[in-house]
Amino acid sequence: MGKAKAQQPESFWSRHARTILGLALLILAIHDVFGSHGLLAMRRTQSQIHELRGEIDRLNQENGDLSKQVQALRTDPKAVERIAREEMGLARPGEMIFKLPEQPQETHGTAKKP
């Protein structure tokens, strides 16, 4: 008669190891996609970076234009005269300035009919 090997009950970890590992991997995958530093957050940040670079390019262009205007005002007397006439309403001695009232903007419902 041989000795019968006594069956030991399986431990909790050996019975559920695959399930626990699967759940852990699922939680990590969800965190990698939806977490605060996950894939979706990275895409949103990249979109913001793209928008900000466009804004920086626009502002650099505007700065260049303003620098050209400043340089023109420093060196070109005609540019200074144009600003004085158009924006400040100044005139040369003997000139008269006539200002006409601007036409009111018509809206769809208030247009006058003859």
- Record the pTM: 0.51
- Confidence (pLDDT) at 42: 92
Average pLDDT, the chain: 84
**HSE of 40, CA atoms in CB hemisphere, 13 A:** 8
- Confidence (pLDDT) at 94: 82
Model confidence at 109, pLDDT cuts 50, 70, 90, reads: low
- Confidence (pLDDT) at 92: 79
Helices 77-86 and 39-75 cross at an angle (nearest 10°) of 100
- Confidence (pLDDT) at 107: 67
- For residue 13, CA distances in Å to 9, 21, 28, 65 come to 12, 10, 20, 71
> 7-53, pLDDT tens digit by residue?
777 888 888 899 999 999 999 999 888 888 888 999 999 999 999 99
